Structure 1
Amino acid sequence: MSACRALRRPESRRRTTLLAACTALAALTLTACGSGDNPKSGGQTQFVQGTGGVSVVNDKSARQNAPDLSGKTLEGKELDVAKDYKGKVVVLNVWGSWCSPCRGEAKNLVTVANDYKDKGVQFVGINTRDTDPAPALRFEKEFEVPYPSLYDSGGQLLLRFPKGSLSPQSIPSTVFVDRNGKIAARAIKALTEDELRKTLDPLVAEK
């Protein structure tokens, strides 16, 4: 990768940043387009391992804050998830146009996003490892994706998830954030409509 080769440059600050990005991409590459293994909590987050690779933090006091997820979308618009969707349940889907399971779950995400838009739920994509946004934009057009995607080709946004949290660990991954901006659940595989609804319904019902 060109970013990894750039680590040989003498600028120490740039070297540190690129090393972190390469590490994140390498970790995701190991499970890219796979169903993922059983997640690890890191000893800091109390969560219940659900069936089918969906983990849930039932105790609201044990949930960790979602990181700052802001930047440009695939369309070049500025988006700040915490500010723009404050008070909403947010579904974060990590995907790539090159990923077959991502294509397989796209219609499910689109259907549920449309069904839940009037229930205080906002879907947001995090597009990663697409070095050019054009294929990702074609993907969105093909599947008529109604929600925005942050463009994160280098994996910088994924590095922001706190250690020990239910962070994205594969492509695709889906992270569910409650109305208070806390990480409530995570799936490390492509999701069906039923799995999306079963995970969302309790969060929508929370007060």
Structure 2
Amino acid sequence: MRRAMVAAGLLLALTACSSGQQASQNREGQAGFVSGTGNVSVFAPADRKPAPALTGTTLDDKTWTLSDRLGKVVVLNVWGSWCPPCRKEAPDLIAAAKELGPSVQFIGLNTRDLDKAQANRFVQEFGVPFPSLYDPDGKALLRFRGQISPKAIPTTLVIDKTGKVAARVVGETTKETLLGMVKDAG
């Protein structure tokens, strides 16, 4: 028993980064993600790195490709239906998407929901007006290594019109933060 407690404590220490992130648990009580602190990073145009190639199938079974959105600012939000901070920030994402309108493409990246029905319930419950890619195994998420930690969910990226990452929020975001980041990216 003592060994199990020590191992659990060690695992928690390893997953909770020293940057003030906090380990959280999913509905099954397993360590499922590291909740960020809402830290915002905005990158000057000269310092922006290209977003990786991203293509996939949305929850409504349509193909979505990031490269098709060049010329438009894209807001990419990584979320899971099992993630309490994702549920908390959903109304702000929806409000920002509605305020910015079609001039900005919002796209979700649903990760680690092993059943599409859970993700679709989240979308329906919150009235999410934008599509989400379905990424149950995290393969699409891993393309963003260095820009998104695979354990820091939610994370939101703003990708500028040239396909480069202009800003990032690790953890919950707010409508005001999103509006400011999109303005800086434009």
Give TM-score scaled by structure 2 length: 0.78
Percent identity over the alignment?
Answer: 45
- Whole-angstrom distance in 2 between the partners of 1:61 and 1:131: 39
Matched, 1:167 2:153: no
- Whole-angstrom distance in 2 between the partners of 1:31 and 1:138: 19
Aligned to 2:51: 66
Amino acid at match of 1:156: K
- Whole-angstrom distance in 2 between the partners of 1:86 and 1:111: 23
Matched, 1:139 2:140: no
Aligned to 1:115: 99
Give the 3-state SS of the residue equivalent to 2:36 in structure 1.
coil
Contact 1:31 1:171 in 2 (8 A): no
Deviation at 1:35, TM superposition (A): 2.3
Deviation at 1:31, TM superposition (A): 7.5
- Whole-angstrom distance in 2 between the partners of 1:123 and 1:202: 16
Deviation at 1:167, TM superposition (A): 2.6
Amino acid at match of 2:96: V
Amino acid at match of 1:55: S
- Whole-angstrom distance in 2 between the partners of 1:98 and 1:33: 13
Amino acid at match of 2:35: G
Give the 3-state SS of the residue equivalent to 1:32 in structure 2.
strand
Give the 3-state SS of the residue equivalent to 1:146 in structure 2.
coil
- Whole-angstrom distance in 1 between the partners of 2:80 and 2:135: 10
Deviation at 1:61, TM superposition (A): 2.3
CA deviations 1:126-171 (Å, max 9, x no partner) are: 000100010110110111111110001111011212x54x334501
Amino acid at match of 2:73: V
Give the 3-state SS of the residue equivalent to 2:88 in structure 1.
helix
Compare the two structures and name the one with the higher strand fraction. Answer: 2
Selected match of 2:67 from 79, 82, 98: 82
- Whole-angstrom distance in 1 between the partners of 2:42 and 2:159: 11
Matched, 1:191 2:179: no
Matched, 1:53 2:53: no
Change in Cα spacing, 1:137 to 1:31, as seen in structure 2 (3 Å) is closer
Aligned to 1:14: none
Change in Cα spacing, 1:157 to 1:134, as seen in structure 2 (3 Å) is same
Compare the two structures and name the one with the higher helix fraction. Answer: 1
Amino acid at match of 1:107: P
Amino acid at match of 1:143: F
Amino acid at match of 1:167: I
Matched, 1:176 2:158: yes
Contact 1:33 1:101 in 2 (8 A): no
Give TM-score scaled by structure 1 length: 0.71
- Whole-angstrom distance in 1 between the partners of 2:67 and 2:100: 19
Task: Extract structure 1 runs of 4+ deviating beyond 6 A.
Answer: 27-31
